[in-house]
Each structure stands twice: as C-alpha cells, then as structure tokens.
Structure 1
Amino acid sequence: MPLAEPDVVRRLERRRPSAYLLASLRGVGQVDLQPGLATGAVILAGLWAAGWETGLFATLGTLIATATACALAVDRGSIALGLQGYAGCLTGIALVSSLGNHPATYVLTVVGAIMCTLLMAALGTFLAPYGLTPLTAPFCLVSGVMVVGAPSFARVWHGAPAAVSSTTTGDTAWSWEALWHAFFNNVSQIFLVESWYVGLIMLVGLALAGLRVVLYAAAGSAAGIAAAWLLGAPTELIANGIYGYNAVLVAIAIGAVFMANTVWTGVYALFGAAATTGLTASLTSFFKPFGGHTFTWPFILTTWVLMAAVPLLPRLRRSE
C-alpha cells in the first residue's frame, strides 16, 4: 500500500483538529488499498448498513489502531493516508463475527488493534528489503491467533455465531441470481460481510477512487467467479463470495495500485485473481483442522509472489 506524497501529507496536517478522524476514515478505504476520503466514507457507510455491530467494531478497530500509531509517533505520511488503520478495521469485524458482541470482544478488539499497529511496523521492517508491504497480514495474524485461542477462555468464548461451512456441497447448476449475488458478494466479503447490496455500495465507493480501480475490482470479481466455476466449486459458496473476495483484492493491488498501467499488467492481475481462487480452497482446507480462518491470506501470499517476481520479468514494471 503506497505511502503518501509529501504535498498530500502537508495538506492533511493543516487540518490538525480533524486529522486523526480523517486518517481513520482513510484507513477504512485502505482495506481496498484506496486512501480517498470519499471511498472510505462510502465503504464505512456500507459496513454500518450491514449491521450496527459490524459498523461499530470496524470503526472501533480503525480508531484504536490509528490512535496507537499516533501515540507511537509512526511516520506521519502513513498515518495520514490510513495505512495504520485498515488492519484494525478488519480485526474488529473478524472478532465480532467470530466471537459475537460481548464485553470481552470489545477488549480483544482494542488489544488486537494495538497489536496490528505493532505487527505493521515489524512486518514492514522485515519486508522492506524485498520491496514488499505487509498488506493485511497483521490483521490475519492477530485475528487468526485470537479466534483460534478463544475457545480456551470461558470469558471470551460464548459459542461461534452461525457461519457458512467451507465444505458445503450441492448443485453446481447456475442461475442468474447466483451469478449477480456472487459478483457483489465478492466485494463485501473482503470485509467478512455476505450482502450483495453492501457489495454494491462498496463498488460505488471504489468507483469514486477512479475508473481503473473499479474496473479491476469488477474484473477480479468476474475472474474469481469464472475460476471457481471451472474448478467445480459449490455454487452456494461461489454465490456467497467465499471464493472470490481475494481475487478482487489481488486485481486491485496488481492492476490499479502497485503496477504500471499496461496491457501486460492487466493480464498479470487477472491471472493472479484466478490463481488466488484456487489458493483460497487450499488454505481453507489447511486451516480447517485446527479451527483457523482463511481471511485474506490468499490475497497476501499471491500478491507477495507476483510482486517479488516483477524485477526479473522485463515486460512488467512497478508503478512510479
């Protein structure tokens, strides 16, 4: 996720009284790798539309993670552009989705958001020599550990909320309803929300970030659907967005953020989107025996591999 340009940071810091809130709002948009205020606002509105608990915990996680970065004097540019808040946003949603709305969940969200900021710094240091960024890895690590460990603690575990089983089998026949539900759910599932209208709202927010961004998001969703169908994944899970949300993130990251805008970049992005669909199934099977969650690991691993390969692929180049 790119750092801020110096002039952008200066403009943001002139508004000191509201700089913290603006940075937090941008943090919501940075889940989709977009720092625009309008994008962040629309996506946050979509999260609240999904349910007040989802909206509340997303907001709480983002605010705490951003506040932690401010308290620790993290680079002002990364704070201003929301790069310190997005992992906390996802962590809050993951915890309330997995553990339910209980007092302990609020405490874990605060602790988790703080840990996300620390891991963002640690992973940033580790990955910098390779020209890579942490992406959503801090969220996956923090939320994964907390969710797996939660059943061991009586004051934390209150029974898992109902969730769609990753082993659902059923009719592979398609319908128009399943197709368009999958297209929008692929976008909302980035935030662990299964709702086609929330996905539509989020696509509107991505459109505000630019035509290139929304086109790659749409293309990634379509590529994820096509790959999952060709591999014979259950229609129900494809329609729910389980197989496609990582494809959307990969398409945006490679096609609209990290790589120069060329035809080869488009091919590379769509290849990555399709590849991450298969990886989603593999990682889901890997995590299942010990109660782990796939979250956005397929996106992270696919994007790291694709970006690490670029220096030795002359037809591809990173964005300036």
Structure 2
Amino acid sequence: MQNVMRKSWTEGPVATFLSASLKGISQVLLIENAFSGLLILLAITTSSLLLGIMTILSAFIGNIIGKIGGADENSINQGLFGYNSVLTGIALTLFLTGPYHWIIALIGAAIAAIFTAAMMHVMKSSGIPVLTIPFIVLSWLMLLASYRLKAFQLTPDLVPQDLSNWEVDMTGKADWVEGTFNGIGQIFFLHNTLSGVLLFVAVFWAGWKFGLYAIIGNFVALITSYLLGGEPHLIFMGLYGYNAILTIFAVSVVFKGKSHRFGPYLGIIGACLTVLLTASIATLLLPFGLPALTMPFVLSTWLLLAARKVLPRL
C-alpha cells in the first residue's frame, strides 16, 4: 500500500505538472532537470521573494498554456513552454513599475508561451532551436509600449541615452570572485553572490559538463571583456558573462553536433563573440533605454549552429 501511495504521489498529474514547471525554470540554462530547477528557484528567491514567486507562477502559466493549447506532452514535460515565460515574467517584474506591473508581467508570461509555440512552428524546418527569442522580442515590445500606454510604467533604471555625449566609464575596481558569481547570476537578473553559488550548484547537479563549461564560459567572457577595455563595473557585475555561459552551454553541450573534436573550441569562440555582441547591442539600444537581455546569446548561437549546417565537421 505504501509503495502504491508513494508511486501515485511521485507520478500523479500534480507531480508531473510541478516537475514540468521546475524543468521550465532549468530550461533557461538549457538544462532539463527538475531538481536543478528547484535550486535555481531557491537562488532567485534568496535574492528576492517577489522574483521567486513570479518565477514559479510564470513557469506554471507557461505549462498551463501548453496544456490548454494541446501541445505535445513531451515538450510540455521537458519544460519547453516554461523557460521563455519565466524570463519574461522576471524581466517585466524588474523593468516595469506601478501598482499593476506584476499583472502585466504574468500576462506577458502567458503571451511568451504562445510566442514560443509560434516560433517552434516557424523554425521547425531550419533545425535551429528557438532559444530565448520569444522572451527578448516580447519584453522589448512591452517595454517600448510604455511610451504610448500609461499602464506600462518603466523603472527609472531604463532611461534613453544620447550617444553623441556617451563616454566609457573606466572607474571601478576588479573583483574577479564577484564577477564569477555575478556572471551566472545575471542570467536571471541577479546580483547576489549566494544566488550565484546556488546557481553553480544547480548546473553541476545537472552534470559536470554543465558546471565545467559554466566556469569556462564566464572566465572567457571576463578575460575577453577585460582585455578589450570594457567598463570594469559592467564586467564584474556579470553583464558580459551571462550570455557567454548560455552560448557555451548551447554550442558545446546541448547542440554539440556529431563532432566532439571542435565542440569545446567552437563554444569558446561563441563565448568570445558574445562579448562583442553585448557591447554592440547594448550601444544600439541606448537611445531606446532597453537592455540587451539574451540577444547576444541567441545571435552567437544561431550563427554557429547555422554554420554547422554547411560545415558539418564543426
């Protein structure tokens, strides 16, 4: 009787839904692991209780949209309808303000799941993964709506800036330890050392390759941005590291192709490329007051994965 009860508890519809939701959180890091998702949720909640609540609610919403829409059960259970919703919910919670910003964030999470489904269909024939493009485009559009719709109120941090008077700020000290943990933390918009530690535990739990490549990707981004003369406070806040980590995960671990010979090197190239893309995209968006989000990761990964279609030995 106890075995039957234990099995029903771990394999029932509620447990399946919770597992899919936690995987939706872990899929932000291209990881399919419910316990890693739980650790990531803990890392986010450690930094902000509100963000923790919005994270799990956004993951729930993404899965509910998938189920209501009749999506493939395997895709739902793998968390593929949750990760864009999670990122959208977190981003809009942080970048919007006002009494109803959390409602807008949850609505955005629902739209992100629909957008994800649409992009899955559009990109199916290309063999290129959707990644986080639904989150990026949707978040940008909803933030830009603030200039026309009073219900959308931007935080004071997102201020359009004039490039004609722009100057690089080289003040600030080098803190390599803080930069290491902030790099992975910024994937979830976190600037908290303990959260960074928990995120590293989450990726190592999913597999030693994820943990190793997280360290390598972040280190490559730190060194590259430092040698290229990046602004120290941006480098060590992790704003050059998070896209590099995601790119090396995608290219060297998750979508590594048939050849194991060039995978690690291609991932390192991709991590370096994200530094240049981060600087350029952030500059391009300054007049609009928009953050770069994970667009450097998407562009770098798409570029390298598409190149493999013509250069299969890579």
User: Common fold, TM-score beyond 0.5?
Assistant: yes
Q: 1:152 aligns with which of 148, 155, 171?
A: 148
Any conservation in 2 of the 1:135–1:300 contact (CA below 8 Å)?
A: yes
Q: Name the structure 2 match of 1:105.
A: 101
Report whether the alignment pairs 1:169 with 2:166: no
Q: For residue 160 of structure 1, report the CA deviation from its aligned partner.
A: 2.8
Q: For residue 311 of structure 1, report the CA deviation from its aligned partner.
A: 2.3
**TM-score, length-scaled by structure 2:** 0.90
- Give RMSD over aligned pairs: 2.2
Any conservation in 2 of the 1:48–1:55 contact (CA below 8 Å)?
A: yes
Distance in 2, Cα, partners of 1:112 & 1:301: 23
Report whether the alignment pairs 1:268 with 2:255: no
Distance in 2, Cα, partners of 1:304 & 1:12: 40
Report SS of the residue matched to 2:70.
coil
Report SS of the residue matched to 1:263.
coil
Q: 1:289 aligns with which of 275, 287, 300?
A: 287
Query: What letter corresponds to residue 73 of structure 2 in structure 1?
Result: R
Distance in 2, Cα, partners of 1:293 & 1:161: 10
Q: For residue 207 of structure 1, report the CA deviation from its aligned partner.
A: 0.3
Q: Name the structure 2 match of 1:136.
A: 132
Distance in 2, Cα, partners of 1:162 & 1:307: 32
Aligned length: 301
Distance in 2, Cα, partners of 1:168 & 1:151: 27
Any conservation in 2 of the 1:27–1:85 contact (CA below 8 Å)?
A: yes
Report whether the alignment pairs 1:26 with 2:23: yes
Any conservation in 1 of the 2:87–2:135 contact (CA below 8 Å)?
A: yes
Q: For residue 107 of structure 1, report the CA deviation from its aligned partner.
A: 2.0
Q: Give the percent of matched residue pairs that are identical in Structure 1 and Structure 2.
A: 30
Any conservation in 2 of the 1:99–1:160 contact (CA below 8 Å)?
A: no
Q: For residue 47 of structure 1, report the CA deviation from its aligned partner.
A: 0.4
Report whether the alignment pairs 1:117 with 2:143: no
Distance in 2, Cα, partners of 1:122 & 1:216: 31
Any conservation in 2 of the 1:60–1:109 contact (CA below 8 Å)?
A: no
- Equivalent runs, 1:41-56 vs 2, <5 Å: 41-56=38-53
Distance in 2, Cα, partners of 1:29 & 1:162: 27
Any conservation in 1 of the 2:95–2:154 contact (CA below 8 Å)?
A: no
Distance in 1, Cα, partners of 2:100 & 2:146: 10
Report SS of the residue matched to 1:187.
helix
Q: For residue 14 of structure 1, report the CA deviation from its aligned partner.
A: 4.4
Report whether the alignment pairs 1:214 with 2:203: no
Q: Name the structure 2 match of 1:185.
A: 182
Q: For residue 110 of structure 1, report the CA deviation from its aligned partner.
A: 2.4
Report whether the alignment pairs 1:73 with 2:70: yes
Query: What letter corresponds to residue 139 of structure 2 in structure 1?
Result: S
**TM-score, length-scaled by structure 1:** 0.88
- Equivalent runs, 1:181-260 vs 2, <5 Å: 181-260=178-257
Distance in 1, Cα, partners of 2:213 & 2:45: 25
Distance in 1, Cα, partners of 2:223 & 2:129: 28
- Equivalent runs, 1:56-95 vs 2, <5 Å: 56-95=53-92
Query: What letter corresponds to residue 207 of structure 1 in structure 2?
Result: F
Runs ≥4 in structure 1, deviation > 3 angstroms?
11-14, 165-168
Q: 1:303 aligns with which of 301, 304, 314?
A: 301
Report SS of the residue matched to 2:119.
helix
Distance in 2, Cα, partners of 1:14 & 1:43: 22
CA separation of 1:248/1:69 partners in 2, compared to 1, >3 Å: closer, same or farther? same
Any conservation in 2 of the 1:12–1:19 contact (CA below 8 Å)?
A: no
Q: For residue 280 of structure 1, report the CA deviation from its aligned partner.
A: 0.4
For residues 125-178 of structure 1, what are the alpha-carbon distances to aligned partners after superposition, in whole Å with 9 as ceiling and x for unaligned? 111111111101111111111112124333331643589x99761237x54xx1
Larger Rg: 2
Q: For residue 58 of structure 1, report the CA deviation from its aligned partner.
A: 1.4
Q: For residue 236 of structure 1, report the CA deviation from its aligned partner.
A: 0.8
For residues 73-122 of structure 1, what are the alpha-carbon distances to aligned partners after superposition, in whole Å with 9 as ceiling and x for unaligned? 1111110011100111111110111113x442222122211211111111
Distance in 2, Cα, partners of 1:305 & 1:161: 31
* Unaligned segments of structure 2, at least 5 residues: 1-7
Any conservation in 1 of the 2:213–2:245 contact (CA below 8 Å)?
A: yes
Distance in 1, Cα, partners of 2:178 & 2:75: 35
Any conservation in 1 of the 2:210–2:253 contact (CA below 8 Å)?
A: yes
Report SS of the residue matched to 2:100.
helix
